[in-house]
Every structure is written in structure tokens, then in C-alpha cells.
Amino acid sequence: METISDIYELSPMQQGMLFHSLYNSTSGMYCEQRSCLLKGELSVSAFKQAWQAVIDRHTILRTAFYWEEVENPLQVVYQRVELPWIEYDWRGLTKTEQEEKLTAFLVNEQEKGFTLDHAPLMSCGLMQVEENAYYFVWNYHHLLLDGWCNGILLKEVFAFYEAFRQERNLFLTPSRPYGDYIAWLQEQDKEQAETFWKNTLNGLNSPTLLTIGNNVSSDERDEQHYQLSESLTTSLQTIIQKHRLTLNTLFQGAWALLLSHYSGESDIIFGATVSGRPPSLTDVESIVGLFINTVPVRIKVKPDAYLLPWLQSLQTQQIEKEQYSYSSLIDIQGCSNIPRGTPLFESLVIFENHPISLDKALEGWSKNLTISDGRGVEKTNYPLTLSVLPGSTLGFRISYDKPRFCYSDIQGLIEYFTTLLTSISQTPEQQLWKVSLDVVTTLLRRQKVNNNIPNSLIVNQEIITDTKKIEKVRSRESFIHQLFEAQVEQTPDNIAVTFENESLTYQELNEKANQLAHYLQSIGVKPETLVGICLEPSLQMLISLLAILKVGGAYLPLDPNYPEKRLDFMVDDSGIDYLIGSSELGVRSSESIEFFVDIEELKGEISQQIDTNIDIKINSENLAYVIYTSGSTGVPKGVQIPHRALSNFLLSMSKKPGLTANDTLLSVTTLSFDIAALELYLPLIVGAKLVLVSRNVAMEGVTLAQQLATHQVTVMQGTPATWKLLLASGWEGKNDLTIFCGGEALDSGLAQNLQQKSKAVWNLYGPTETTIWSSIYEVNSDKVRLGKPIDNTQLFILDKNYNPVITGVPGELYIGGMGVARGYLNRPELTAERFIAIPPTPLTKGSKGGIEGSRLYKTGDLVKYGEDGEIEYLGRIDYQVKLRGFRLELGEIETVLLTHPQVKEAVVIVKEESLIAYIVTKGNREQGTGNRMGEIKLYGDLQGFLAEKLPNYMIPSRLIELDSLPLTPNGKIDRNALPEIQLNSEDYTTPKTATEEILAGIWANILNVNKVGLEDNFFELGGHSLLATRLVSEVRQVFEVELSLRVLFEKPTIKSLSIAIDGEAKQEILPLEKIDRSGELPLSFAQQRQWLLSQLEPDNPFYNIAIALRLKGTLNIGALTHSFQTLIQRHEVLQTRFINQYGKPYLTIAETTDIDIPVIDLSLIPVAKQNKIITQLSEEEAQQPFTLESCPLLRVKLLRLAEEEHILLLTMHHIISDGWSMGILVQEVATIYQAFCAEKPSTLETLPFSICRFFSMAKKMVTR
């Protein structure tokens, strides 16, 4: 390598690529590869000369990159570099062996990548496989070139090749250097560009995140290709020509529509590459270098906008943006509200439209050679990249992060994209919502055939349902009490219900219910009369429920254990006049209740009533019950369930999962939870036996297990919390037990455990508003799905605009059919909001109805169709949150936590922009703090466990251990009852360890802040990718550890990064060895960079380190001079000088090094003028450059102000020191000076090793 010819900063795109190349240092990121098969008479020497000639011709091909010890990364151009050239002779191998060798070579070269600070970042390989056949491989780093340059370079290579082969000279017009473009960039108006980007990104708070795939990412990439048909290509080209659009605009608009569907957002942002070649720069089209830049494209998808005008507006935005396309992506992100450390976008669109394509460059370049089997490999850092490939037929390529997206995910994207382009080509005049709807309905029709998607689909604003089936059920007018009465006639003497030591036959139960029903009728209860019932589980509770239904009334459960205020609210809100209860329980008196039926007090009177069935006229729309559920505002809401809904539910459940007269069902659910209706009524309409247990029994796992065994129970329903309670008690299972599980998400771990301990496990799903359960799924593996809808029920997965979504894309679940409730009691506005008329459209937003009386319930549950056609539950939309720009599912974090072997239960919440996980661990409490609530000792283990499965932004910052999670009376996890913890983002935690303190100082310097706390985030303090590069460089110098950029992004706080640094410091350290000092010694890596910069600007004082010290008291100048002379002899680095031999630096140690301390006397100058002179002399001293070939690279100067007052000026070159070392130097001079003034020897201990030995060791460690 010879001398430097130029040095300048990087372009914006180079900055980004440098960062990502360092971040993914072992992945071959941005290492490009082109290979082909050459056949014919190839002159190898001429071919090699041609490639070297191209390197000699273009400055960018002789460029290396330096980023450490500099404010901003620099690129250095060398006058001459040799092209690495590899040749192999594989003629003795078989075709298969040759192919294997080639594949291995390509992979090895790709993985090996390039050393970015060593030019050239390019290599060639030639492998002879036959007498006149060669494989040729060209590797280069994307930092040097973009796609535009490929054609230019290859044409020049071929021209040089022909000239060298024919032994003639070739003259090409000198190429303009890439440095001219960098100079042009530095002349641009950054303030004007900043204003533009701030306006463009105003109000954008988060990136557009795809909802497919997972959150696992790595460096492994894959890609899929697709070629459009000739007819589709022609149609699209006709549209753009007719409406004066560009293909780029069309594809960007289509990509925005795709992202809108897959993300559920209307404000879309993605990246796009621009050519970056400014027309104002003369001959810019022939300059070889990296001109492309990546800039954000923000597009707002308005459903009511018409496609063509919308595309035309996008094109106008593109034209306006071109004049600011030179801006750095780092600077652009600073103009947005998206925080540092969060990518501005996750997908990239590349439109490959170059003036000289590779195909054109290769056409007929040689009569003696043919080129075939062309291959190319590229790696980018974005999770998803769309490359549009123009040609006679259009095509595109999707490159993706392989662990994050599976093959079928990308296949789905391609299918959606091509269907979208087809829709645009066929009807370009339509509105955007119609375009999206047509695409989805087309895809759903295909998927319905292939994946068994349910038949209920919203298609072209019409709902398709099995209306005949619904009418058949309606015509039967089957009511629960009538179905029970029919069963009484069949099995009058069979045991219907058991509670503790009491039992009733079907006949006895019916007669007692009839007696109470007649009494209720006598006091005015009739259809639509709401009757409160406040009783504990008992025979009398069941009798009361049946009696209310028999007389046509509707019941309102009032849990005796509810707080008095909640019960009072329910009574007042419902306006009930009738209450069945006991004077010992719950609501004893209320002014609004006219008739209080005290079961115990009125037992005698009720027993005198007749016991025959009541024949009363009711219809299917009459109320069966009203049940209050918790509201998001804290105000309970009463859900009104009509008879048609309850009857449809029970009849469907009697068939599947099914219940027979041979079954015994154990009821453990309180009446205030709507699922209790299944337990109480389903056995009674099929002739099964019902076993009731008290609340105390149901809440204890041991007693619950006893009941299962004692009563030979075959069916039990419970929430996941109930089943966990049973398992925790040591229950070993029951082979003939059918398990119903619902009320909350059933995690796969619990499902598998239950499968092993039972006959069958059914996952039941449904909100109260659609009558208990709406879908059922028999669990036969580790997969838990929502399953198929019950009879006369339809499930719809819709986006925010009420359009259906395709397989794999999350949406909100809407439920229609006979189970939909009447609405909320006395809450018409809330009813209108959650029970929407069908079909809604993006324009009506549910304000207009479709089929009269038909409505959908908006569940608030996030689901998607899986590849198997089944519906997967993803969590509550309420639990889908945005945190620091990222949208995340709290349920996903909980699911991953539950896979840890020591975690039994987990709940994650967001508080004050922090993720907090509440954990219940398995086994004893030794894993925790021993307190009821505390941050667990598993913290480090869990953090590492989560880091392997989730991105950093999804890892909780706090992990709190509890003895148990709080539950609602219905057995669900009560998130509102989780213990409060105090979080104060303004709290400042002082760094404590030496590593933390030093690291905090480095951060403060780089980020230009006053102080840095232990939990402060590097990116939230203003850090970005370039500053991250500087930070890692300084960490390497100060701590002597090698940390990757990835570590900083994964551990962005002082606390977490300090742990990583201390961990790295424990690695094996090579022993220091003696080295020969007589010859030329190597420089450290930092010194090499310092020397390199000094060659470009030899008189630049920028890297001088200067301080001024005020000395008061009697000064012994002789002792001071002797002290500095001793200091120089003590530190070998102060005896070094740096020699340039043929463009390479070497370090030598001088045998003797003397220092002189000049004294400037200012004592006679008035004090008022002294300060000005002191400042002037100090600045002059600091600005005076050093000559690196001379030593010492240390200067000392003394300013005498008075007899006992002096200013000491110290200046050193950064190549031999840093700020830390200057402090050591001052301390040691003071110690030596005090000893010499006392006529004593220095008390400093001999240094254990020299800096030169350390540099030698460091180089060996890096080599290893």
C-alpha cells in the first residue's frame, strides 16, 4: 500500500452502510457478489490487468474507511492498491465436485467479507473448470458502488481486456473522482432540508410494523422472485402512460396499500432508494461510487380516495422530495418523533432502473467469449426489501430476514401484491377501500378452498349466512325451561342435582321450581320482568333460576360476595323491583326493591303453591337474563341475553362438544360469571347429573379434586386459573374426565398438561355479549385455536375499516348470529358502539344497517387465520400497546415468559413507558426475595432467556415476583388488582462501580450531556448510529475489550453495558512477553489512525492535548525539569517517534530524549494585561503542531507571573496519549517533584510493563 492521495467524509448512504456492516460484522452484510461462467479463449493475464486498470482508474476502488478516533467516519483514497486475485485449477474434478467447490467458495467469500480499513474492498476469483471454461467471481463491498456502476465498470473492464489482449493502448476520458460528489454534498443547504423533512414527518410517531412473522431476527437472509405475466405488464404500462405516472410511483403506491393491510395502519412509512446523482454535478452519470441514498416515503392511505388521483399526488410528492434526497437518514430521523434506536422503517423499496444494465453491458462484448450462468448475492439490513425489476415483463424480488419471516409468510405477501397489481390493472378508477376489498375477497375465496376458511365472509358488503338453519331453530321456539320439562317427563326419577348431602330428582326439582314460579307470578313477575337473585351456590339457587325462567322473567345474578357499593349500583342501574335472596346475604334492603323474596322466610308459603308447569306465552326475543360485566371505564355494564341466544347456545353445546345422560358435571363457577349457565342448564336438558359445590370448595384445589373423585365427575368447566389451581394441589388427573376450559387464553403448556391428565380438552371461546361460548376447539396437540363457531354463529376477522383480512394478518374478531345479545342495559350509546349493524363500510362506519335486525358484536379480541385455516387468538386489542415507537402484544411477552422452566404464571403491563412483568415462580420462594412482592433473583436469567426470543424493546425492565396473581370472583386474572410499584423516570441513579463511572463519563462526553444515570438509555439521550460507533471505539480503548455495536443496541443503559464490559474483561488474556526494541515496532490500531490523519494534514493541531496548571508557592525550576526528564525515562511512549517508510508507519524508541522548559517572564506586566497575554500564549502553544518523526511529543512551557506564581503549559500529541493519561502524568510529576525538592529519590514504583509490550499483546489478541 502506497501513500494517500485524498481523504474526505462519507456520503449519507455510506454512513448507514458502515454502521450496519459494523453492527453485523460477521454476517457479510452489504458484501455484494457477482459470478458467471466464461467460455472461450480467455487471456487470463489480460483479464487480470483489465480489472487492475479499472481500480487504478477510479478513486473509490482504492478507498478504505476509518471510523475510530475521529469525530466523523472518513474514507481514505490511496494512490495505488493491488487487486486481490485468486486462481484455482479445477479441471481434474468432476462437474459435481466443481459445483460443490464453487458453492463453498462463494459462501466462504461472502462470510469472510472485507476489512473495511484496508483497501481495496474488492476481490476477484477465477477457477478453470475446462480447457476453455472458467468460473469468475467478483466480490465487492456496497460501500464502494451502487447498481448504476456495475454496467459502467464492466464495460470498462471489457474494453481494457480487449486492448490488453491485442497489446494496444486504450485511452478513456479521465473519470471524475467520487470526492467531488462529497464536496457537492457539503455545499447543500442542510437547514432547508431539515425544514422539509420536519414538515414531511410531522405527527409520525411510530414506524409501520408488519403484523406477520415473529420478533426473532438474525443475519440470515433469503429471497423469493416473481415475474408478472406479459398481459399484466402491458396493462400496467398502459395505465402509467395514459395517466403520466411512473412505474416507481405505481409500485410504491401498491406497496403502501399492502403495508396498510398488513399493519392495520393508514399512515404508512417505508424506505426507498433514490439514485442520488445530482444533475447539477457535471458528468455525474459516469462517476463510479455510491450515490444511492435511502429516504423515507410517507404515504397516507385514505379509504375514500380514488386510486389514480392518489397515485398522481404521490408522484408530485416524489418530485418535491428529490431535491432533498441527499439528506442523511440519521438527520432525517432526527426530524421525526420516532425515538433514536428505533428504526424509522422496516421495509425498503428498490427500483432497479439503471442506464446501463448488466445484460446490456454483457451483450456481445467479445467474439471469443460467452457469458452464462450469472448469479448475484446481496445482503441488506432491512427485515423486508422489495426490489422492482423492470424489463419486457415486469418482475420483483423480495429479500427478507429468514428467522423473522417464514417461506409461507413471503408467499402470502407475493400473492397479495400480485393480486393487488391485477386489481389496479383491471379497475384503476376505483376507490382505495374497494381496491383492498377486492384483493382480500379474491384471496379469501382461494383460501376458503385450500385452507377450510369458514363460509361466513363479508363479500362486497353482503353477509352470507346459512339463513335456513337459523329459521329452523327459530321456528321450534325452544326455551330452556321447556327443554328441562321435556327431560323431566323422560327421566323423572333420575338424580338431577346434588349439593353437599342433598339431592333432587328431575321430578322433585321441577315441582319445587313450579311452586316458586307460581308464587312469583302471583306477585307480578311476567315476561321481561327482571328479577334479582342473590344466593350462594345451592339447590335453592337452581330452583330460583328455573322458576324465574318458567314464569317468563329474566334473572339478574347479584353475587353476595361483591362489595356493597357494586351491588347497590347494579340494583339501581337495573331498576329491579324483585329480588330473591336471603336476609343473611348480600342486598338486604333497598328503596328501589318493592318485592324482596326471602327464600327461608317464605318457604312455607311457597310450598303451598301448586307444582304444575306454567303455560305462559313468551317469544325468543324475550330476555332470559342480564349479567353485569366489568367495564373499561370502571363502570359495570349489564348485558341483555334473550332466550333465542341461550337456547341456541345450549342446543349447540349438547351436540358438540356434547353431553349425555350418562355424564356427571361438576359446577364450580359463581352465578355472576355467565359461563355458569352452561354448568347449570346443559346437564338438565340432556338428563345428566349436576353436582353443585360451595364457593369454598371451588376455591381450593385439594377439595376440588376430592369432589371430582367422590362424585365420579366426567365433565368439568373452568377457567385456566381454576385448572392451574387444581394442578398445583397435586391432582394427578382423571382418565374419563372431559375438560372445558375458557374465560381466558389457554396457554399451550397448560393445554398439554391437561391433555395428559384427562380424556379430552376443549378450548372454549366467547364474550358475554355473544352468549357464553361462540366457538369450540378440541385440543389434540400443543396448538391452541379458537376453533369453529357453534351453530348459527359467524366469526369475522376485520381490519379498522371493517374489511376482512387474509390468512396470517391480524384483525379484530366480530361475532354475528343468534348468540348476539340485545345490547347493554340502559347504555344505548355503548350498545351502538359495540353492536354494529351489518354490513359496515369504510364510509358508513357502522352507522347504517344491512339486513334488518342483524348485528355484529365487536369483541376487542385480536385474532388471525392460521395456515391451517383455524383462528388463532393473539390477545386483547386493549393489550396491544405502543412503546417507544414499537407496537407490541403484551400477550406475546407473557407467552414467552411461561415457557421458562421456573415460571408458573406471568402478567405483563405497561406503566410510564416501562414494561413490568409480574411473575409467579414454580417451587418455593427461595428464588425470590422472600417478601410477598419483590424483584426476583431470576432477573438476570430471565433477561437472558427473553433476549434469545424477543427483541430488546419487548423485554420487561422490571420483573416482580408474587405469591399468586390476583383473580376476579370469576376466576380471571385481575390486572387492576396487581400491586402498585413506584416508577419515576426523573429519578437519577448514580453509577457506583468503576466501570459504570468511567462509562458514564464517556457517554457524557460523546452525547454532550452533564450527567448520565445508571438506567439512562443511550438512544433516549440523543445517541444514534454514528455516535454508537464512536462509543464502541472509546470503550475498546479505555477498557481494552472488544464489544460489537450489536451489544450496545441490546444493552443500551450504563448498567447493562457495564455488565457486558465486565464480562468481556474476564476473557483469557495473553501473557505479556518481552519484545525486541532495537528495530521497527508496530503501532497500535489507534496510533495507526492518528498517523494516517497526520499524513493528510501534517500541520493540523487538532489532535494536540493541552492543559494549563496554575502553580503557587516557591518553584524549583531545576527540580521541575529533572522531574519531567525522569518522567520521560519512566514512560517508553514519551521516548517514541514515528517513521514513514514507503507509506507504512513504524515506531522507534530513542536512546536518549531530552526536554527543555522555556520560561517566559510576565511578572513586570500589569496584572490587568497579564490575563490577556496568558490566554494568547496558551492558545498559541496548544495550536503549535508536532513533528511525529521527532521526540518527545511532549512540550512544557512555564509562564512566570510573580515570584511565587506560575502557569505551567503542557501539550502532548494524541498519538502517544489520551485525556486519561494526561491526568496520570500530572500526578506523577507532582510526586517526583516533591521527592526531588526534598533531595530524595522518586517514590514511584517501577511500571510492570511498557506500552510497546501492551501494543504487541493487543495485536496478538486481535489476531487470535
The CA radius of gyration of the chain, in Å to the nearest whole number, is: 39
- Of 827, 546, 520, residue with least CA distance to 680: 546
- Of 845, 825, 821, residue with least CA distance to 835: 821
Q: Answer yes or no: CATH 3.30.559.10 is held by domain 4-183.
A: yes
What is the structure's pLDDT at 939? 55
d(C-alpha 111, C-alpha 27), whole Å = 6
pLDDT digits (tens, 9 = 90+) for 215-272: 666 667 888 999 999 999 999 999 999 999 999 999 999 999 999 999 888 999 999 9
* Residue 457 in this model has a pLDDT that exceeds 60: no
Q: Domain coordinates of the chain in residue numbers?
A: 4-183, 192-355+378-448, 499-617, 884-977, 994-1065, 1085-1263
- Of 878, 784, 100, 794, residue with least CA distance to 464: 794
- Residues for the chain: how many in total? 1264
State the cell numbers at 1074.
Answer: 518481552
pLDDT digits (tens, 9 = 90+) for 531-558: 999 999 999 999 999 999 999 999 999 9
Q: Are strands 31-40 and 369-377 parallel, antiparallel or unpaired?
A: antiparallel
pLDDT digits (tens, 9 = 90+) for 1201-1240: 999 999 999 999 988 887 667 778 888 889 999 999 988 9
d(C-alpha 1198, C-alpha 543), whole Å = 105
* Residue 741 in this model has a pLDDT that exceeds 80: yes
pLDDT category, 1112, cuts 50, 70, 90? very high
- Of 1258, 1244, 1252, 1256, residue with least CA distance to 1133: 1252
pLDDT category, 3, cuts 50, 70, 90? confident
* Residue 1250 in this model has a pLDDT that exceeds 60: no
DSSP 402-445: TTTS-HHHHHHHHHHHHHHHHHHHH-TTSBHHHHHHHHHHHHHH
Residue with cell 461472502: 110
pLDDT digits (tens, 9 = 90+) for 418-433: 999 999 999 999 999 8
| β-pair partners for 272 | 295, 349
* Of the candidate ranges 530-539, 572-581, 1006-1015, the one whose mean pLDDT is the lowest: 1006-1015
What is the structure's pLDDT at 876? 81
Q: How many CB atoms lie within 10 A of CB 1079?
A: 9
Q: What's the CA dihedral at 317, 319, 324, 329 to 10 degrees? A: 60
For the chain, the 3-state helix, strand and coil shares in percent, each to the nearest 5, are: 40, 25, 40
pLDDT digits (tens, 9 = 90+) for 765-774: 999 999 999 9
* Of the candidate ranges 27-31, 498-502, 784-788, the one whose mean pLDDT is the lowest: 27-31
Burial of 545 (0-12, 13-18, 19+ CB in 10 A): buried
| 4 contacts 1144 by C-beta, under 8 angstroms | no
What is the rounded average pLDDT of the residues 131-146? 93
Residue with cell 423492470: 390
d(C-alpha 38, C-alpha 35), whole Å = 10
State the cell numbers at 659.
Answer: 353431553
The 10 Å CB-count burial string (b at 16+, else e) for 1082-1106 is bbbbbbbbbbbbbeeeeeeeebbbb
* Residue 569 in this model has a pLDDT that exceeds 70: yes
Give me the architecture of the 994-1065 domain, per CATH: Orthogonal Bundle (1.10)
Residues ≥6 apart with Cβ < 8 Å to 482: none
Indicate the average pLDDT of the chain.
84
| 1046 contacts 1040 by C-beta, under 8 angstroms | no
Tell me if residue 485 falls in helix, strand or coil.
Answer: helix
What is the structure's pLDDT at 462? 36
Taking CA atoms, 1240 is separated from 109, 1112, 1123, 1131, 1243, in Å, by 63, 22, 12, 20, 8
Alpha helices in 219-342 (DSSP H): 230-242, 247-263, 307-322, 329-333
| 620 contacts 750 by C-beta, under 8 angstroms | no
What is the rounded average pLDDT of the residues 717-730? 91
What is the rounded average pLDDT of the residues 700-708? 93
Instruction: Find the helix or strand (DSSP H, E) in which 74 lies.
Output: strand 74-78
State the cell numbers at 907.
Answer: 402478567
d(C-alpha 903, C-alpha 133), whole Å = 62
d(C-alpha 1041, C-alpha 1048), whole Å = 13
d(C-alpha 1249, C-alpha 733), whole Å = 70
State the cell numbers at 320.
Answer: 418535491
* Residue 1020 in this model has a pLDDT that exceeds 80: no
d(C-alpha 521, C-alpha 501), whole Å = 31
* Residue 984 in this model has a pLDDT that exceeds 60: no
CATH of 192-355+378-448, one of 3.30.559.30, 3.40.50.620, 3.40.50.300, 3.40.1190.10: 3.30.559.30
Q: What are phi and psi of 664, to 5 degrees?
A: -125, 125
What is the structure's pLDDT at 432? 92
Same fold, 499-617 and 884-977: no
| β-pair partners for 269 | 298
What is the structure's pLDDT at 1072? 42
Using H for helix, E for strand and C for coil, what is the string for 1106-1170? EEEEEEECCCCHHHHHHHHHHHHHHCHHHHEEEEEECCEEEEEECCCCCCCCCEEECCCCCHHHH
Tell me if residue 157 falls in helix, strand or coil.
Answer: helix
What is the structure's pLDDT at 460? 34
What is the structure's pLDDT at 338? 81
- Is the overall model pTM greater than 0.95, yes or no? no
Percent of the chain with pLDDT over 90: 44
What is the structure's pLDDT at 936? 52
* Residue 592 in this model has a pLDDT that exceeds 50: yes
State the cell numbers at 52.
Answer: 487492475
Tell me if residue 384 falls in helix, strand or coil.
Answer: strand
Residues ≥6 apart with Cβ < 8 Å to 329: 12, 16, 293, 294, 295, 296, 344
Taking CA atoms, 8 is separated from 291, 491, 1030, 1033, 1143, in Å, by 15, 95, 18, 20, 19
d(C-alpha 763, C-alpha 751), whole Å = 9
N-terminal to C-terminal alpha carbon distance within the chain: 24
CATH number of 1085-1263: 3.30.559.10
Tell me if residue 727 falls in helix, strand or coil.
Answer: helix
Residues ≥6 apart with Cβ < 8 Å to 832: none
State the cell numbers at 528.
Answer: 321481561
* Residue 498 in this model has a pLDDT that exceeds 50: yes
Q: Answer yes or no: CATH 3.40.50.980 is held by domain 499-617.
A: yes
What is the rounded average pLDDT of the residues 807-823? 92
Burial of 451 (0-12, 13-18, 19+ CB in 10 A): middle
| β-pair partners for 328 | none
Q: How many CB atoms lie within 10 A of CB 830?
A: 15
d(C-alpha 765, C-alpha 348), whole Å = 39
* Of the candidate ranges 474-478, 895-899, 1026-1030, 1178-1182, the one whose mean pLDDT is the lowest: 474-478
State the cell numbers at 1202.
Answer: 510573580
What is the structure's pLDDT at 69? 67
| β-pair partners for 761 | 739
Q: What is the DSSP letter of 977?
A: G
| 876 contacts 745 by C-beta, under 8 angstroms | no
| 1235 contacts 1130 by C-beta, under 8 angstroms | no
CATH topology assigned to domain 884-977: GMP Synthetase; Chain A, domain 3 (3.30.300)
Percent of the chain with pLDDT over 70: 86
- Of 867, 888, 859, residue with least CA distance to 808: 867
pLDDT digits (tens, 9 = 90+) for 899-954: 888 888 888 888 766 788 898 887 654 433 333 344 455 555 777 788 777 766 67
What is the structure's pLDDT at 361? 53
State the cell numbers at 1229.
Answer: 510529576
HSE, CB side, 13 Å, CA atoms: give it for residue 594. Answer: 10
d(C-alpha 787, C-alpha 775), whole Å = 6
